[in-house]
Structure formats: structure tokens, C-alpha cells
Amino acid sequence: MVFSGITFLYYFLPVVLIVYLAVSMLRGRVGLELRNAVLLLASLFFYFWGEPVYLLLMLGVIGAVYGMGLILDRLIQTESRLRGPFFALSVAVTLIPLIVFKYADFLIRAVNSWFGVQVPLPGLALPVGISFYTFQILSYLIDLNWGRIRVQKRPDRLALYVSLFPQLIAGPIVRYAEVEKELKERETSLTRLSAGMERFVIGLAKKVLIANVLGDFCSVYRGSTEGGMLFAWLYAAAVSLQLYFDFSGYSDMAIGLGTMFGFTFPENFRYPFICRSITEFWRRWHMTLGGWFRDYVYIPMGGNRVSKLRWMGNLLVVWGLTGLWHGADWNFLLWGLYFGVLLTCEKLFWGKLLEKLPSVLRWMITIVLIMVSFLIFDSEGISGIGTNLKALVSGKAVTAESLYYLRSYGVLFAIAAAGATPVPAWCMKKIRSSAIGEQLVILARPVVLAGLLILCTAFLVDGSFNPFLYFRF
């Protein structure tokens, strides 16, 4: 079940909201416990719908982490010497399912290739969302070990944190510390419900009306034999914008759903394509993942407070892991290392050179580097990377096919490019700066949102739906 599906939009979500709002009428401890119970049961059913077998895996992991958390807390309280080894064991146990299900085939293929052996591949299907909920569980254990949070003694509340359906499948990566209080006390109001619905519909429109249609263009390019440099660059732009609207649209929907149910999830994107450096890009793109690696990997390794050589090694390790987190294949590893090298160069010398250039030129250079990165990201293995990058600089500059599709998708490209900037928000702010404009917005908002929902529904019924790209992570 996905957010941009008819089943979720018109069956699952309405039923869950009605039941949740009904029990929200009960105040006090009983009301909270019932709300949590509704969300937990809904979340488990949501995951069961798409992953019946792997629901047992997730529940097993939650049970193991709950027990390990209690033991770790006891070792902390007693200042036991076993605290360190047990914490390391807890982290290892948490990572085992991720490594087995996501990386076993990749590692075995590498061994077979390097040593000329024929170890059979397990061929295990990847549990949806395992990368996201594993990182959330790790943040719980690490913060508990560091004394940043208190142990959760209620297994149902820990299970709700891990399985909460708005952020279960594709993030954002929510740390336990960010929702610890809301698991025990949160507000349910019409204001939050309205704000959450608005954010959800906007995210749905980004996904269905922009990302999916850009995906159609990408499919056309992949099936083309005529090619051309213009077509290749349009494809690079389409892949970059498709990934942005797909994932940021999902994040908007997740944040909106969280708001409806009284949770405040962290923002995941902040107009990444207006950046003028790679450093700035990663402060705006998938912010919860970047923050996770910074706080739990980069800084504990010493960050930039070590020798220059070790610091460079830290960067490459972190970005190699970032790439592999996205997928178990060489293109993802190279994609991560590509950013690691760019950031290293930027901090050593490239950043100083960039600062001397005009702002527009800095932006253009950065955008080109980002588009190249997403071609690497979108490629099928090493050979695919070479094919995609070669197409940018070889072949006929302009072909009849590329001009045809530029005319066909030109308006969509313009809308997507504008929508990826703060321009729409700036225009809305200007309109609302006057009393008349504010009244117009109040009157038009429900009509526009209803129109977007109807249009998205029409696209979905017509068969324009594509699964979320980040589901595979």
C-alpha cells in the first residue's frame, strides 16, 4: 500500500482518521492509550498489506531492540564494564537483517568475481523500508547509550515509534528523541488536521502530477535509439527533478500525515536546487539522512577535528556508506564516493575558487555536477554509468526526436523547475501580504486543494501511477 494509491487515499486513510478522531474525543490517559493503539494497529496492518511475511521480521527486530534497550539501560545505571561490549552487540544485532536482506547478494557477487568462485546467491527479497526503520532503531540505541534519551519501558510505544505508518516506508528518518514526548502526550485538533491535509495533498500532487509524468519522459529516453546530446541533458534534468519531486512529495505526505495525528516530523528538503555549492546542496537534500550520518558516523569518527589525511578518509567512508545505504550496487557506491570527492575538493580548494565566481555561474556549475551525480545514481551498474555519461558529450547535438519531446514536455519542465525553487512560496507570501489577498487565499485554498486531489485521483485511475523510487531503499 502506498500513499499515492486509491486503496490508501479512499479506504485506509479515511477509516483510520475516523476511528482516530472518534477515540480522540476521550481525554486523559485512556484517550491517549486508545489513540496509540489505533495508530499501532493501523501501522501494522499498513505494513502487512504489502509485506505479510516481513511484518514478522519487523516485529522480531522491535522485540529484540526493546529487550536490548532495557538491558543496556540497566548496564548504564550500574556503570557495568559490560556496557560497551553489549552496546556494540546491540548495534550489530540491529544491522544483521539489513546486511542479510539488502547486501548479501551484492557481497557474494563481489566475492565470486574477485576470487573466481561460484557461491550461490540467496536471492532474498528486500523488505520495504528496512533501511529507514533500521536507522531509526539505531538512533534509539545510540542516543540511549549516550544518555540523550531515557529507555522506553513500554513495548507498545517503542513499536509505535518504529512502525508508525506515515514515516515507516520511506522516511523522513525520525529520531526517537524527536517524538519521545509525543508518544506520551500530543494534541489532536482541527487546526492540525487541516494543516496536515493541506501538506499531504501538496505532496500527493508533487508525486502524481510532476514526478510520475517526468518518469514517463525518462522511460521514453531509455527506450529511444536516436539519442542526441540535447536528449541526454534533458534526461539528466528529468531524472534529477523526478527524484526530487518523488521523494520530497513523499516526505510532504509523511509530514502531513504526522501532523494530522499530532506528530511533528523533521523537514527533509529545503529547495536543494537553488544551491551554489555541493556542501549547500547536502544541507538541503534528504536532510534527515545527512544529519544521521553526521551525528552518528562522521562526528564519532573524529569529523574534521583530526589530521587532514584522516579527515579525508572520514569523508570518503561516510559518503561511501551514504551511497551504499541507497542501494547495494556499484553505481550507488560510486555515487556516494563522487560526492565524497567533490566535498573534499570543495573544502580543500574548490570552494575558494567558487567564491570568486559570480553567483549565477556558481549555481550553474553546481547544478551540472548534481545532474551528473543523478545519472550515476540512475544507471544500471558500471556499464550503465559509462553509457549515460558518454551520451552527454557525444553524438548528434540535436535530433528531431529530442526537439519533439522538448516541445511535448517543455511546459512540465518549466513547472517542475519553478516548483523546485522558493518562487511559488514567495508569490504566495506577496499575495497574502494584503488583506484582500489573504481573504482570496482563504477562499481559494480549499477549492485548489480539492481540485488537486480530484486531478491526482483522475491520473491514478487512468493508470499513471508509479511506485515511489525510494521504496527500494
Active-site annotation, residues = 326
Tell me the CA distances in angstroms from 326 to 167, 210, 216, 335, one per residue in order. Answer: 17, 22, 22, 10
Other CB atoms within a 10 A radius of the CB of residue 410 amount to: 11
Other CB atoms within a 10 A radius of the CB of residue 70 amount to: 15
Instruction: State the Cα–Cα distance between residues 380 and 245, nearest whole angstrom.
Output: 21
Instruction: State the Cα–Cα distance between residues 186 and 164, nearest whole angstrom.
Output: 15
Peptide bond into 172 cis (omega under 30): yes
By CB atoms closer than 10 A (0-12, 13-18, 19+), residue 378 is buried
Do the Cβ atoms of 236 and 375 come closer than 8 Å?
A: yes
- CA 11, 15, 18, 21: dihedral to nearest 10 degrees? -120
Q: What is the DSSP letter of 262?
A: T
Nearest to 263 by CA among 25, 36, 14: 36
